[in-house]
Amino acid sequence: MNLTLKVWRQLNAKEAGKVETYNVKDISPDSSFLEMLDILNEQLINSDIEPVAFDHDCREGICGMCSLYINGEAHGPDRKVTTCQLHMRMFKDGDTITIEPFRSAGFPVVKDLVVDRSAFDRIQQAGGYVSVNTSGNTQDANAIPIPKADADKAFDAATCIGCGACVATCKNGSAMLFVSAKVSQFSLLPQGQVEKDRRVLNMVDQMDSEGFGNCTNTGACEVECPKGISLDNIARMNRDFLSASILSKDK
């Protein structure tokens, strides 16, 4: 396959960026999208142009490090995959592909296609945990049976990889899907009940202070989420937040 790539180049957070056009040739349809970018970079190095910086690590679709807005969609046109699992067979010979960084006030660009997603870390630090110390003396793992349906739902929420596609996709740059996934995981498990109110209030507060937009329920995040995190989680967080705001004892 021969392709024309329009790639966002930006030296650092301060400089303005712009789109550059490159051509790549003889790409195998079985290559992954990032392997195609590897080839582009090898080509750029050989012609003394600085290679395109992009985030990636596990290349198995689980670490959440890869991002990219490809032809107007987070992680590209395929569904339920991250960019590293997107394969070139999704494109046609001769296609023009536009590649941009995830864009949000909460995700400032670091360089080229690399963005800073540490806002997500800070949201988790605000309460995305169960306060339990490592002691070796916690109660037996089977002491509290958890209904399978709840355990499964908690797991489904917990599969969020924190890639930020939801924010990138949302026309409002809202982080609700991400935050609600973490809130839901703990909200559904007995271990998470004690801190339930504090957690949702603190995490939402942190989310708001990071510059993310408001959810208007377009549902785009759910469609583009590589792990298929459901809007159910957002509804659950709305519910938890409301009840915590009104009823919580430890405000």
- Within positions 33 to 52, which residues make up the interface with another protein, using CB under 8 A? 34-35, 38-39, 42, 44-46, 48-51
Report if residue 192 touches another protein, rule: CB under 8 A: yes
CA atoms in the 13 A half-sphere facing the CB of 190 = 8
Could you say which of 111, 177, 196, 229 contacts another protein (CB under 8 A)? 111
Could you say which of 9, 22, 95, 98 contacts another protein (CB under 8 A)? 98
Could you say which of 68, 174, 178, 229 contacts another protein (CB under 8 A)? 174
Report if residue 229 touches another protein, rule: CB under 8 A: no
Report if residue 194 touches another protein, rule: CB under 8 A: no
Q: Taking the CB of residue 24, how many other CB atoms lie within 10 A of it? A: 16
DSSP H or E stretch at residue 5? strand 3-9
Token duo for residue 203 = 């995490």
Cβ 153 to another protein, closest distance in Å? 9
The gap from C-alpha 57 to its chain's centroid, in whole angstroms, comes to 14
Cβ 208 to another protein, closest distance in Å? 5
Report if residue 235 touches another protein, rule: CB under 8 A: yes
Cβ 93 to another protein, closest distance in Å? 17
Using only C-alpha atoms, the chain has a radius of gyration, in whole angstroms, of: 20
CB of 121 closer than 8 Å to CB of 110:
no
Cβ 94 to another protein, closest distance in Å? 17
Report if residue 63 touches another protein, rule: CB under 8 A: yes
Could you say which of 3, 83, 128, 177 contacts another protein (CB under 8 A)? 128
Could you say which of 14, 30, 247, 249 contacts another protein (CB under 8 A)? 30
- Contacts (Cβ under 8 Å, ≥6 apart) of 164: 64, 67, 102, 104, 107, 115, 117, 120, 178
Q: What is the DSSP string of 165-195?
A: HHHHHSTT-B-HHHHHHHHHHHHTSGGGSTT
Distance between CA 136 and CA 150 in Å, rounded? 26
Which of 193, 203, 206 lies closest to 241, judged by CA? 203
Mask: binding to another protein, 134-173, rule CB under 8 A, as x and -? xxx-xxxxx--xxxx--xx-xx--xx-xx------x-xxx
Mask: binding to another protein, 198-217, rule CB under 8 A, as x and -? x--xx-xx-xx--xxxxxxx
Report if residue 223 touches another protein, rule: CB under 8 A: yes
